[in-house]
Structure 1
């Protein structure tokens, strides 16, 4: 891992994520605090473990660019993908609040992260209670995603699960402005999707090919396009725009 020079650090006032409709606005006081709270940036390549399950961390991070995953190890040695990481996601909250990570964080693509000192976390609670409340919101949303995944495992068949997951991923990538001519990056492997949904790789591959033949998705070359409305019908969900979310 390598830290960027101070001259290369993106000031919060020029953050490329802030103008996105997905993220709630900052007032001037909050913006000034966040520029003090941020201590630097970190650039890492793909396939790097940023935070490891069972370990602590002196830092907290926000994904400025790039994609990744949260994973955990099962007792049988297999990996469970908890969820996927997108620009704007906050990383390391568990280590900041309870002392150690309950999951690992891995990069899937090259990633740039805003860096915050864990020791400064309590300044956020003292000086910016609204931003501190946002941390609670972020944690609740992560738990809600896990709850949705559990419901998907129990109530949807394999085709419905995959349709639901691809739709969620697609809509989040669209919301952070990562679409190009109707296609979004899809750097994760089919194995990652299978691990997230409790499916075998063979079953996942067959289902994706079937959805492709039906014209619902086109996943190739690390990119994906899809018929969102038709896929939502398969997934048994209503299509809603992602809710505005805080940006730390």
Structure 2
């Protein structure tokens, strides 16, 4: 269940700490003013909080300001597929229907702060701020592209390639938002989460991570992940390190 304090408004969009990250495209003064007008405030949650729930409508869209979360879909018997992990700067809720029930759930992995935007007011962006409307379209298209790559991993990469791709993908995204320190990032998810993302059993996931560790490609201990040679892991994963990663921030 959602564990959160009421909306507060403590972070001005013009002073958003994420805007210092080079991965995010700069916004004009007019764009920042439009985002500020649309923003309802910040939602602060604990870990294991359900922010969006499959089958239930949501009045809000969110930008993850602090913390980690994950998107997932579930079967009636409780089995789930994690479709992606969310890091600071990710826009949540646009991946489902703009009206009606959510077609996926979002749960936090850590304490989190989320900037909230009323879903019904998004149309204002298309009317008054076409550049921001384009950004929303771009973010939706980018998320679909990421899902396509993930589907390729699930269907055609072997277990080692699949795990290598996913870990490198998360490592680079964490680096983009300043979460990598001295080559290490703290992954707040467990091997169970990773197994649900990779579509593997927990035992197979554990064996796959050991194979990567034995080859000196990944070190993951006590939640800390270190990739000694990014290029070598990218070669195993068939990961394109040259692909652009800059993106809008709402």
TM-score bracket for the superposition, by shorter chain length: over 0.9
Is this contact kept in 2: 1:185–1:223, CA < 8 A?
A: yes
Q: In the alignment, which residue of structure 2 is the partner of 1:98? A: 99
Aligned to 1:238: 240
Cα distance per residue 1:60-109 (max 9 Å; x no partner): 11000100100001254311101110101111225561322110000001
TM-score w.r.t. the length of structure 2 is 0.94
**Cα distance change on mapping 1:206 and 1:166 into 2, 3 Å:** same
- Structure 1 pair 120/169, CA: closer, same or farther in 2 (3 Å)? same
Structure 2: distance between partners of 1:129 and 1:244:
19
Q: Which residue of 1 aligns with 2:20?
A: 19
Deviations 1:148-179 (A, max 9, x none): 11111222110000000000000000001111
Q: Point out where structure 2 has 5 or more consecutive residues left out of the alignment.
A: none
TM-score by length of 1: 0.95
| Mapping of residues 97-176 of structure 1, within 5 Å | 97-176=98-177
- 1:61 aligned partner: 62
Q: CA deviation at 1:242?
A: 4.7
Cα distance per residue 1:170-218 (max 9 Å; x no partner) = 0000001111111112111111111111111101101111211222111
Structure 1 contact 175–242 (Cα < 8 Å) conserved:
no
Name the residue aligned to 2:231: 229
The match for 2:6 is 3
Answer with 55-64 or 229-238: which moved more: 229-238
For the 8 Å contact 1:171–1:241, the answer to whether it is kept is no
Partner of 1:32: 33
Tell whether the 8 Å contact from 1:57 to 1:96 is kept in structure 2 after alignment.
no
**In structure 2, how many angstroms separate the alpha carbons of the residues matched to 1:220 and 1:203?**
18
- Count of residue pairs the alignment pairs up: 246
Question: Any unmatched runs of 5+ in structure 1?
Answer: none
CA shift, 1:126, in A, is 0.7
For 2:241 and 2:120, the matched residues in 1 are separated by 40
* Conserved 8 A contact 2:8-2:43: no
Task: Provide the alpha-carbon RMSD of the alignment.
Answer: 1.4
User: Which aligned runs of 4 or more in structure 1 are off by greater than 3 angstroms?
Assistant: none
Measured in 2, the distance between the counterparts of 1:192 and 1:50 equals: 17
* 1:57 CA drift (Å): 1.0
